[in-house]
């Protein structure tokens, strides 16, 4: 962090943030439905400052809960990674947002539409005795054609299994990858043993590979059975995380299109498991938990 006071106020007031997680993928939520939000140009620096594990609160990023701009949506979500870059969508984050807006009484509906950078996304709450115990999200339709994620190569061609030469720590190796969009860009790499992957070395090499000019989220995936996979994640803008919801969907789609899995899989991540179903209607449905960690006041002085 640079010297000087980090951003951390809106309309002169300290920021009230709520820290939540989906399988350990943790975000700070700024409720723009109950108070002011800092101006757009301050948001990347704010995300970096609050996400910092030493000088800030510590998180994988910052999520804004906002009123919708488009007809048909009830809420709007913006997600900033820990490095301040803005992502189009966040699967774990949207489950948390869905629980938060319900618990705060902003809706009594159990299913609603959230406007995101990846288009309208529909979460459905699972309630037990009035408490949100899980959320199923209609994550939309995956896009496999090459142009869907800015990846070098002829647009329109399906990037089902393509070779990718990666250089990490002076070593070159060719991986077979499946690149696809869940609204945000993903690269799925099937490996024999996910525990043997040197994530700290390979993650950044994939994220900054010239084939992905907008960078990429990478998922090293071991197939345990046609219904179960184990994944380690390197997220664009946040590095290693305990789970990635959009990534788990990308993994399930990549497993199905390459014939490694069926269309319904349990995705085991370091932080827990997500249930992913790629329906006949073409939509991917993700089911998983959303949990609170703390309410905090961010007031750097």
Ligand X SMILES: N[C@@H](CCC[C@H](N)C(=O)O)C(=O)O
238 counts as binding ligand X under rule CB under 6 A: yes
Does 261 bind ligand X (CB under 6 A)? Our answer is no
Cα distance between residue 195 and residue 224, in whole Å = 13
Which candidate, 281, 245, 261, 229, places its Cα nearest to that of 77? 245
Minimum CB distance to ligand X, residue 217 (Å) = 5
| 7, 8, 123, 237: residue in contact with ligand X (rule CB under 6 A) | 237
| Longest alpha-carbon distance in the chain | 56
* Interaction between residue 90 and ligand X (CB under 6 A): yes
Q: Are 193 and 229 contacting, i.e. CB atoms less than 8 angstroms apart?
A: no
Specify the residue for token string 């993903």: 186
User: With binding defined as CB under 6 A, does residue 184 bind ligand X?
Assistant: yes
Closest Cα partner for 98 from 136, 60, 58, 139? Answer: 136
Q: How many residues bind ligand X (CB under 6 A)?
A: 19
Q: Taking CB under 6 A as the rule, does residue 79 contact ligand X?
A: yes
Q: Binding to ligand X (CB under 6 A): which residues in 125-154?
A: none
Asked if residue 203 binds ligand X (CB under 6 A), the reply is: no
> What DSSP string describes 150-177?
T-SS-TTSB-SSEEEEEEETTEEEEEEE
Instruction: List the structure tokens of 233.
Output: 């994640």
Q: Which stretch binds ligand X (CB under 6 A): 3-11, 115-123, 241-249, 290-298?
A: 241-249
* DSSP characters over 79-135: EEETTSPEES--HHHHHHHHHHHHHTTS---SB--EEETTEEEEEEEEEETTEEEEE
Q: Which stretch binds ligand X (CB under 6 A): 47-55, 204-212, 238-246, 251-259?
A: 238-246
236 binds ligand X (CB under 6 A): yes
Angle between helical axes of 91-103 and 245-257 (0-180°, round to 10)? 130
Taking CB under 6 A as the criterion, the residue among 56, 235, 269, 284 binding ligand X is: 235
51 touches ligand X by CB under 6 A? no
Nearest distance from C-beta of residue 236 to ligand X, angstroms? 4
Q: How far is residue 234 from each of residues 25, 43, 59, 137, 263, measured CA to CA in Å? A: 12, 23, 15, 22, 23
CB of 81 to ligand X, least distance (A): 5
Min. distance of Cβ 148 from ligand X in angstroms?
13
> Residues at the annotated binding site for substrate?
25, 81, 91-92, 184, 217, 235-236, 245-246
**Contact residues: ligand X, CB under 6 A:** 25, 79, 81, 87, 90-93, 184, 217, 235-238, 241, 244-247
């Amino acid at each position: 962090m640079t010297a000087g006071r980090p951003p951390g106020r809106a309309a002169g007031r300290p920021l009230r943030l709520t820290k939540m997680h989906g399988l350990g993928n943790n975000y700070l939520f700024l409720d723009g439905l109950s108070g002011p939000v800092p101006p757009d140009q301050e948001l990347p620096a704010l995300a970096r400052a609050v996400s910092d594990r030493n000088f800030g609160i510590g998180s994988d990023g910052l999520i804004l809960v906002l009123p919708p701009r488009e007809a048909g949506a009830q809420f709007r979500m913006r997600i900033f990674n820990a490095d301040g870059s803005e992502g189009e969508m966040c699967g774990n984050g949207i489950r948390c947002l869905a629980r938060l807006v319900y618990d705060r009484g902003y809706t009594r509906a159990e299913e609603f539409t959230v406007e995101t950078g990846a288009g309208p996304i529909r979460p459905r709450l699972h309630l037990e005795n009035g408490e949100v115990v899980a959320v199923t999200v209609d994550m939309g339709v995956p896009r496999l054609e090459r142009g869907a994620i800015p990846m070098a190569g002829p647009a329109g061609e399906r990037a089902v299994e393509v070779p990718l030469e990666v250089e990490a720590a002076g070593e070159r190796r060719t991986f077979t990858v499946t690149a696809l969009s869940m609204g945000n860009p993903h690269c799925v790499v099937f490996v024999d043993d996910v525990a043997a992957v040197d994530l700290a070395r390979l993650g950044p090499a994939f994220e900054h590979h010239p084939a992905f000019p907008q960078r990429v989220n990478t998922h090293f995936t071991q197939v345990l059975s046609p219904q179960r996979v184990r994944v380690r994640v390197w997220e664009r803008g946040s590095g290693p995380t305990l789970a990635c919801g959009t990534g788990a969907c990308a993994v399930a789609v990549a497993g199905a299109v390459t014939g490694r899995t069926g269309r319904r899989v349990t995705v085991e991540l370091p932080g827990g498991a997500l249930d992913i179903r790629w329906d006949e209607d073409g939509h991917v449905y993700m089911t998983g938990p959303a949990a609170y960690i703390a309410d905090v006041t961010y007031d750097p002085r």
